[in-house]
Amino acid sequence: MALPLTYNFRNVVVRWRATLATVLGIALVVAVFVLVQSLAVGLEQSASNTGDPRNVMIVRKGSTAESSSQVSLEQFRTLHYWPQIARDEKGNPIISADVVTLISQPRIDGQGEANVSVRGVTPMGMMLRPQVKLVAGRWFTPGKREVAVSLRLAKRFAGFKIGDRFKTAGNWMTVVGEFDGSNSAFDSEVWMDADEARAVFDRQSYSSVLVRAASPQAAQEISTRLDADKRLPLRADSEVKYYADQTDTAKPIKFLGDFLATAMSIGAVFAAMNTMYASVGSRTREIGTLRVLGFRRRTILAGFILEGAILAAIGGMLGCLLALPLHGYSTGTMSFNTFSETVFQFRITPWLATKGILFAVVVGVAGSLLPAIRAARLPVISALKSV
Amino acid sequence: MTVSTFIIKNALRNKRRALLSVSSVAASLFLLVMLQVALRELTQPPESSGAELRVAVRNKISLTNPLPARQRPIIEKIPGVVGVTPFTWFGGKYKGEQGMSFAQFAIDPKALGTVFTDAKMDAAGYKNFLEQKDSCVIGRLTAEKYGLKPGDRFVLDSTVYPGSLSFRIAGIYSGTPDDRNMLFRQDYLDDSLGTPGQVGMWWLKVKSAADMPRVTAAVNKAFENTAAEVRAESERAFQLGFISMLGNIKTLVASISTVVVFTLVLVSASTMSMAIRERFRELAILKALGFRRRELFAFILAESFGLAAAGAAIGIGSAYCLFNFGDISKMTNGIFLTFEVTPRIVGLSALVAALLGIISAIAPAISVARMSVVNGLKTLD
């Protein structure tokens, strides 16, 4: 015979004063866990949210970032005529060579400088990246030292507001527009005209080539053909996959989240134990009565464990609620893949929230196990006699 | 029975609870110390010897933009400069490993004697490095990790330059804060690339600390309005610049520490009031016997303070022993190097523990002060 669920649930509610601190403690632990993990989720999402499935990205073999990849003008010209590349209505191949470089810029809060990715992009390259939309001002004019800046970067760096000028490589650049990269990796970029970028940064070669494949098979063919061609030291990957693989930065953050959660939960388990022991202690007579009524030891055991789990689940839910206001909040750090500032958002997904609550329940069960065993072992007669 | 034995007896009357309270305080304080140490290490990296005499020169655009090799003679002529070396990031991966596990830089081999004087190695190894073009020196930790010894050869696949390079180990150095890097010869790299005339950075050594500001200014001035403007700064400033790239990580760790402290206060305060509530009747008897509120408050405070202090001693003490006597760079796989628990961090954590003891005593003390003797005596457990 099982104890009715309402018994345990009402116990948690009736003794709210004693349990409040424990519930809040668990809530804070879960909030920290969820927040730190939501950073990792945000980083991964912005990486996996980047690119168009029809596009193929071509970079130098062995390079790990666009900024350290080189594609020579000649290699670019060779690629131009490949039949696997889709053509627009005028019959021109849909292919774009970009120049990606890093510039060091002062942060808006005066806290030093950080590297920012600058992408020199062609009109075709902009068409290939429909995720990027202009939200204020205008796009740069080819032939002028003008740039458009991601909305999210503009909030983090000095001199990135429309109308501002900043100096790099001996040139004054004017910010003429702000764009939104729809939570993709492009949110961490400054865009300018490709030829201007090559002139300003004195680049003989391009960094990467982006093409629209004529068909999914054609995309595969580009990749195999490049692997086979020893004269072209290049490698092709689906654009989506290329960015989705760039998640090195998320790993240490995940580790931090797991570690903190484990360390804090040790403290939380002790606290939960304290509360549950006190709860068992003050209910000695009640437990005796239950036993007399015919409830078995294991029922009592299960009942108290359940009570701890309910208590912790409430804490877990509260923790998720505490973390929720930060959902969508933009933050940034240095990406280990691009070696430049990457902007991303706290992302609290339903799965992450579930994980947080499950984690809380584990803490609750661990904390109530010993007190529950004690409750189950109470000798009936002396339990009834106790005051 | 003296007052102090009374307090100690009270604190330990429920041994299990006392133990749990002390453990939860200890666990939280351990974490707090650890977060503070991590934050300190992130924001103030360990300083190597001779750092006050070293200058880092990078391209003004950013660290990743190269510098022309022709800048070297101009820098060498600047008065106060005693040594110059190129310093080029190779970004090599060791034997098909997924990521990079140690950094590699191309330098002028003579720099080990002129610029990076904190890297100590035997004379034979240094001589080899000077004589053989394809030789390299590696840090002690990397050598231990891969079981490499002088004379061994290995290949690195560069993520920055096309192709891979093969190296012969000339010697193993130690004595820097992070003995993990691999240093090889810039002329070897140049040969493999067809001498592009570019280097990653310049590192210089100045004659005395007093020369530092003048030399950095002179280097910056020398290349002003050229195609490759530079930023010269002290090694320390360069390191701190690196840290500012980490962005909001600092805020993150700081706010987590705050949450930890808050959780700690919450949980211990509740345990304390639980302990006091349990003996309301006793306290009422004490009151009836003529003890004053002040004295009762002192009893409670002493007990809660004692529990917090015990927790602090265990938590801070174990963190201190583990971090200061354990090999932290091995434990964290090189993410953290020294992980030093400074007196300041110990003091701050002890302060948190002390405040915790006081705050936890306040709520129970107030309810004891308010209670009337009659009601208190009536209370059942």
pLDDT bucket at A1, cuts 50 / 70 / 90:
low
Residues of B in contact with A268 (CB under 8 A): 24, 263, 267
A-chain CB neighbours of B162 within 8 Å are 60-62, 70, 233
**Mean pLDDT on B22-26:** 87
Q: Which of B118, B140, B137 minimizes the C-alpha distance to B127?
A: B137
pLDDT band at B365 (very low <50, low <70, confident <90, very high): confident
Q: Are B63 and B79 in contact (CB under 8 A)?
A: no
Instruction: Count the residues in chain A.
Output: 387
Is B259–A28 a contact, with Cβ atoms under 8 angstroms apart? yes
DSSP letter for A256, please. Answer: H
Beta-sheet pairing, A95-106 with A113-121:
antiparallel
pLDDT 10s digits, B239-280: 888 888 887 777 888 888 888 778 877 877 777 677 777 777
The average pLDDT across B232-236 equals: 92
Q: How far is B104 from chain A (nearest CA, A)?
A: 16
pTM equals 0.85
Helices (H), A96-235: 123-127, 151-154, 194-200, 216-228
Q: Does A72 touch chain B (CB under 8 A)?
A: no
In whole angstroms, what is the distance from residue B178 CA to residue A135 CA?
A: 46
| A11 inside domain | yes
Are A133 and A271 found together in one domain?
no
For B93, the closest chain A residue by CA position comes to A62
Whether residues B241 and A112 touch (CB distance < 8 A) is answered with yes
Round to whole Å and give the CA distance between A84 and A95.
11
Q: Is the pLDDT of residue B293 over 60?
A: yes
- Do A267 and A165 reside in the same domain of the chain? no
Q: How many CB pairs under 8 A join A and B?
A: 156
- Give Cα separations from B275 to A217, B14, B86 (angstroms): 72, 9, 67
Give the three-class secondary structure for B229.
Answer: coil
* Helical axes B343-370 vs B15-43, angle rounded to 10°: 140
- Whether residues A164 and A288 fall in one domain: no
- Are A377 and A253 part of one and the same domain? yes
How much is the average pLDDT of A285-295? Answer: 89
Residue B333's pLDDT is 64
Same domain, A256 and A187: no
Find how far residue B287's CA is from the centre of its chain: 52
pLDDT at B110 (0 to 100): 93
Top pLDDT among B131 and B18 is at B131
Q: Is residue A357 part of a domain?
A: yes
Q: Extract the tokens encoding B155.
A: 């290949």
To which H or E segment does residue B139 belong? strand B135-139
Q: For residue A11, which amino acid is it?
A: N
Quote the CA–CA distance of B53 and B212 in Å, as a whole number.
7
- Is this complex's ipTM strictly greater than 0.85? no
pLDDT at residue A315 is higher than 90: yes
Alpha helices in A81-157 (DSSP H): 123-127, 151-154
- B121 CB contacts (<8 Å, ≥6 apart)? B112, B137, B171, B172, B173, B174
* Pair (A130, A72) in one structural domain: yes
Q: How far is B310 from chain A (nearest CA, A)?
A: 15
Low-confidence winner among A12-16, A346-350, B12-16, B119-123 (lowest mean pLDDT): A12-16
CA distance B24 to chain A (A): 4
CB contact under 8 A, A67 and B243: no
Give the whole-angstrom CA distance, residue B155 versus residue B298.
70
Which residues touch A14 (CB under 8 Å, ≥6 apart)?
none
**Based on the domain organization, do A342 and A371 belong to the same domain?**
yes
* pLDDT tens string A86-101: 999 898 999 999 999 9
Evaluated on CA atoms B96, B97, B99, B104, the torsion sign reads negative
User: Would you say A37 and A352 are in contact if contact means Cβ atoms under 8 Å apart?
Assistant: yes
The verdict on A125 and A208 lying in the same domain is yes
The fraction of chain A above a pLDDT of 70, given in percent, is: 99
Residue B339 pLDDT > 90, yes or no? no
On whether residue A57 sits in a domain, the answer given is no
What angle do the packed helices A284-292 and A250-282 form, to 10 degrees?
Answer: 80
pLDDT at A321 over 90: yes
Say what the pLDDT of residue B14 is: 80
Closest Cα to residue B314, out of B8, B21, B89?
A: B21
Tell me, yes or no, whether A242 lies in a domain.
no
Q: Residue B306 above 80 pLDDT?
A: yes
- Which residues from B are below 8 Å from A18, CB to CB? 270, 274
Is B303 in contact with B10 (CB distance < 8 Å)?
yes
Residues 227-286 (A) with a CB less than 8 A from some CB of B: 233, 248, 252, 260, 263-264, 266-268, 270-271, 273-275, 277-278, 282
Same domain as A85, residue A217: yes
Residue A25: per-residue pLDDT? 87
Contact criterion met (CB < 8 Å) for A101 and B380: no
Q: Are residues A68 and A189 in the same domain?
A: yes
Task: Specify the 3-state DSSP secondary structure of A110.
Answer: coil
A281 lies in a domain?
yes
Largest CA distance in chain B: 96
Q: How far apart are CA A164 and CA B51, in angstroms?
A: 37
Q: How many Å apart are CA B21 and CA B33, to the nearest integer?
A: 18
The interface residues of chain A toward chain B in range 193-232, judged by CB-CB distance below 8 A, are 201-202
Residue A212 has pLDDT above 70, yes or no: yes
Count the alpha carbons within 13 Å of A60 in the hemisphere toward its beta carbon. Answer: 24
Task: Let me know if B259 is exposed, middle or buried by CB neighbors in 10 A (0-12, 13-18, 19+).
Answer: middle
| Contact list, B278 vs chain A (CB under 8 Å) | 278
At B191 the pLDDT is: 93
A104 with B63: Cβ contact below 8 A: yes
- Contacts of B323 by beta carbon, 8 Å cutoff, 6+ apart: B33, B34, B37, B339, B340, B341
Question: For the CA atoms of B125, B130, B132, B137, what is the dihedral angle to 10 degrees?
Answer: 50
Lookup: tokens for B233: 């700064």
Average pLDDT, chain A: 90
Query: What average pLDDT does the segment A174-180 reach?
Result: 96
Do A162 and A73 lie in one domain? The reply is: yes
- Chain A positions touching B16 (Cβ under 8 A) are 277
Record: contact A64-B163, CB cut-off 8 A: no
Q: Which of A99, A104, A173, A346 to mutate to test the interface with B (most CBs of B within 10 A)?
A: A104
Contact B159 A62 (CB under 8 A): yes
Only one residue has tokens 């003050």, namely A282
The verdict on residue A238 lying in a domain is: no
For chain B, the structural domain boundaries read: 3-46+247-378, 61-228
**Domain that residue A365 falls in:** 5-48+248-385
Backbone angles phi, psi at A168, to 5 degrees: -145, 145
| Per-residue H/E/C for chain B | CCHHHHHHHHHCCCHHHHHHHHHHHHHHHHHHHHHHHHHHHHHCCCCCCCHHHEEEEEECCCCCCCEECCHHHHHHCCCCEEEEEEEEECCEEECCCCCCCCCEEEECCCHHHHCCCCCECCHHHHHHHHHCCCEEEEEHHHHHHHCCCCCCEEEEEECCCCCEEEEEEEEEEECCCCCCCEEEEHHHHHHHHCCCCEECEEEEEECCHHHHHHHHHHHHHHCCCCCCCEEEEEHHHHHHHHHHCCCCHHHHHHHHHHHHHHHHHHHHHHHHHHHHHHCHHHHHHHHHCCCCHHHHHHHHHHHHHHHHHHHHHHHHHHHHHHHHHCCHHHHCCCCCCCCCCCHHHHHHHHHHHHHHHHHHHHHHHHHHHHCCHHHHHHCCC
Helix (H, G, I), strand (E, B) or coil at A57: strand
At B381, the pLDDT band (50, 70, 90 cuts) reads very low
CA–CA separation, B34 vs B28, rounded Å?
10
Q: Would you call A22 and B162 a contact, using CB atoms and an 8 Å cutoff?
A: no
Residues A190 and A321 in one domain: no
CA B189 to chain centre: 33
| DSSP code of residue B163 | S
Among A104-113, A136-145, A279-288, the range of highest mean pLDDT? A136-145
Sheet holding B201-206, edge to edge: B92-94, B153-158, B164-173, B135-139, B182-185, B104-107, B81-89, B201-206, B54-59, B230-234
What burial letters (b/e) apply to B71-94, b meaning 16+ CB within 10 Å? bbeebeebebbebbbbbbbbbbbb
Q: Which of A185, A202, A232 is the last residue of a domain?
A: A232
Q: Which two tokens stand for residue A332?
A: 């940034």
Is it the case that residue B86 has pLDDT exceeding 80? yes
Report the residue of B23, B225, B263 to disrupt the A interface, i.e. the one with the largest count of A CBs within 10 Å.
Answer: B263
- What's the pLDDT band for A18 if we cut at 50, 70, 90? low
* Rounded distance between C-alpha atoms, residue A68 and residue A321, angstroms: 42
Indicate the helix (H) or strand (E) that contains A101. strand A95-106
pLDDT digits (tens, 9 = 90+) for B158-215: 888 888 899 999 999 998 888 889 999 999 999 998 888 999 999 999 999 899 999 9
> Can you say whether the dihedral through the CA atoms of A273, A277, A280, A283 is positive or negative?
negative
Q: Closest Cα to residue A322, out of A346, A306, A345?
A: A346
Among the partner residues A25, A115, A168, nearest to B263 by beta-carbon distance: A25
| Within-domain flag for A275 | yes
As a whole-number percent, the residues of chain B with pLDDT over 90 amount to: 40
pLDDT bracket for residue B48 (50, 70, 90): confident
User: For the CA atoms of A317, A322, A328, A331, what is the dihedral angle to 10 degrees?
Assistant: -130
Mean pLDDT score of chain B: 86
Q: Is residue A202, in this structure, part of any structural domain at all?
A: yes
Q: How many domains would you assign to chain A?
A: 2
What pLDDT score does B334 carry?
62
